């Protein structure tokens, strides 16, 4: 079996880290690249939908997103290449970039008349990749802080509920809508691209629900 390396994942992480660190000490670069719905509308600066996904507001923000992307992105890239061959690389890039863009659209329409609203970070793209991974491998365990381990589909459900709730509160300075819509986009994108993934996902959940462990609870 041919060994597949997730080179696109490595390249995205490398470019994002370089640009983010470059912008850390240059506030004007951050201002010029971040998601600012008002400027997108007034000046047609549509590049901000993408550029905002490659800068972050600090080292912790950057490392959290890139660590998550490394963990899930590599496996999704490899699986897409295994399924679709050379086209898998293109599909993976589309999943990530479109995840960034699509996840920002609701925020754009909500904040396009607000000149003081700004956002940045790769959360939408990362969420899209994470949930594509969950659709492909719902029973894989995902561990939080190496202590609490849950099946991917369980953690994904909790993640969507939390993001929806936090997005309605909108008082913690984080664009939770980007997490939510990025996650939903990742599910829809993969289900359309690879329809077999959905019945496979549902079958694995059905088997889990019928497992002796659950029936004895």
**211, two tokens:** 């497992």
| Nearest-5° Cα angle at 122, 177 to 16 | 170
CATH class held by domain 7-215? mainly alpha
Q: Where are the domains of the chain?
A: 7-215
- 40, 46 contact by CB (below 8 A): yes
DSSP 172: S
pLDDT at position 146, please?
A: 58
pTM over 0.85: yes
Structure tokens at 166: 């936090």
Q: What's the pLDDT score for residue 216?
A: 44
What are the pLDDT tens digits along the chain (217 aa)? Answer: 578 899 999 999 999 999 999 999 999 999 999 999 999 999 999 999 999 999 998 998 899 889 889 988 999 999 999 999 999 999 999 999 999 999 999 999 999 999 999 999 998 999 999 999 999 988 877 766 556 677 777 877 777 777 667 666 655 446 678 888 999 999 999 999 999 999 988 888 888 788 765 544 4
Angle in degrees, 0-180, between the axes of helices 87-111 and 123-136, rounded to the nearest 10 = 130
Number of other CB atoms surrounding residue 46 within 10 Å: 12
Residue 167 has a pLDDT of 61
């Amino acid at each position: 079996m041919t060994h597949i390396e997730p080179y696109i994942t490595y390249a995205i992480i490398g470019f994002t880290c370089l640009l983010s660190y470059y912008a850390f000490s240059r506030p004007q670069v951050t201002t010029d690249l971040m998601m600012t719905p008002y400027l997108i509308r007034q000046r047609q600066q549509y590049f901000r939908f993408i550029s905002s996904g490659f800068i972050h507001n600090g080292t912790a923000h950057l490392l959290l997103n890139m660590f998550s992307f490394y963990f899930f992105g590599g496996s999704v890239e490899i699986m897409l290449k295994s399924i679709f061959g050379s086209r898998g690389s293109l599909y993976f890039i589309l999943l990530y970039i479109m995840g960034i863009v699509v996840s920002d659209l609701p925020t754009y329409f909500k904040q396009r008349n607000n000149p003081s609203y700004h956002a940045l970070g790769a959360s939408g793209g990362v969420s899209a990749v994470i949930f594509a991974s969950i659709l492909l491998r719902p029973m894989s365990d995902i561990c939080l802080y190496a202590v609490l381990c849950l099946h991917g589909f369980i953690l994904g459900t909790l993640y969507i509920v939390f993001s929806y709730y936090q997005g309605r509160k909108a008082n913690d300075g984080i664009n939770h809508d980007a997490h939510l819509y990025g996650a939903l986009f990742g599910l829809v994108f993969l289900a359309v691209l690879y329809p077999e993934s959905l019945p496979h996902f549902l079958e694995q959940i059905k088997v889990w629900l019928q497992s002796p462990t659950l029936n004895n609870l």
